[in-house]
Amino acid sequence: MSAKTEFAAIHWREKDVRIEVVRIAPERVGAPLIVFLHEGLGSVAMWKEFPQRLCDAGGFRGLVFSRPGYGRSTPRGVNEKWELDFMHRQAQEVLPKLLGALGINEPIWLFGHSDGGSIALLFAAHSPDQVAGIVVAAPHIFVEDKTVKAIEQARTAYETTDLPKKLARYHDSADSAFLGWSRIWLHPPFKHWNIEAELTGIGCPVLAMQGVDDEYGTLEQIRGIQRRLPQTELLELADCGHSPHRDQPEQAILATVSFINQRRLS
């Protein structure tokens, strides 16, 4: 992204934390504001040009940030372990603190990928007045064996290949990003993690997209959202894995722009 990186300061979990932030087209005053929530190994940089392209296509504003432990944000402590409710903490603690630090008090649109999609759903469920609508790409609403197996394979790759070196391009601490994510997902009690019951608190419009070839989950993730939230629009993408914004960016952009514009003008 060509936009300038800045850092926001929040106090979270009894310490000061810096959050890497990029604002897209803040001069588009009055345009919808999309907050982008990255995947379990993501960061500002790993989105690459997608947020800029999406915002330019729709004439939107954007806010992209790296969660604590990722990108250029404050890394996870050496002995810090994530709890089973780590996504709830991001939705109910980190994101509200960040929006407050940046002076954002308008209803926002959320675009969340993978873990970020789950966080978007949780934020919308618990802060309904702050959300105009959400787009989730390959979200998780419960844990599948397929997901655990894929993360186990990723852990093996991290231990035996140059994956740490590759992740270091996008994170100040590759260990902080990878180990925090993989350890909690592979922690046996996490297999019971499930947010399906919480979805009923979501009243805003929802677009849920997922690749038919998603290696980290089945289509039951987004179909399960629609069963509980009839207002959900589904987009099942052929020739697409776990990252619709990378595998099918044009379709993801077109669908998101249409979704937001139709609902903001209705």
101 close to 8: Cβ distance less than 8 angstroms: yes
Indicate whether 127 pLDDT > 90. yes
Indicate whether 243 pLDDT > 80. yes
Q: Residues, the chain, total?
A: 266
Q: For the segment 26-53, what is each residue's pLDDT rounded down to a tens digit?
A: 999 999 999 999 999 999 999 999 999 9
193 close to 185: Cβ distance less than 8 angstroms: no
Q: Can you tell me the mean pLDDT for 165-184?
A: 94
Q: What is the pLDDT of residue 94?
A: 97
158 close to 181: Cβ distance less than 8 angstroms: no
24 close to 1: Cβ distance less than 8 angstroms: yes
Indicate whether 207 pLDDT > 70. yes
Report the DSSP pairing between strands 61-65 and 131-137: unpaired
Angle between the 50-58 and 249-264 helix axes, to the nearest 10 degrees? Answer: 40
Indicate whether 266 pLDDT > 70. no
Dihedral of alpha carbons 123, 124, 127, 133, sign: positive
Indicate whether 232 pLDDT > 70. yes
Its domain, for residue 190, covers 5-264
Q: How many structural domains compose the chain?
A: 1
**CATH code of the domain in which 129 resides:** 3.40.50.1820
**What is the percentage of the chain residues whose pLDDT exceeds 90?**
93
Q: Can you tell me the mean pLDDT for 56-67?
A: 98
pLDDT band at 148 (very low <50, low <70, confident <90, very high): very high
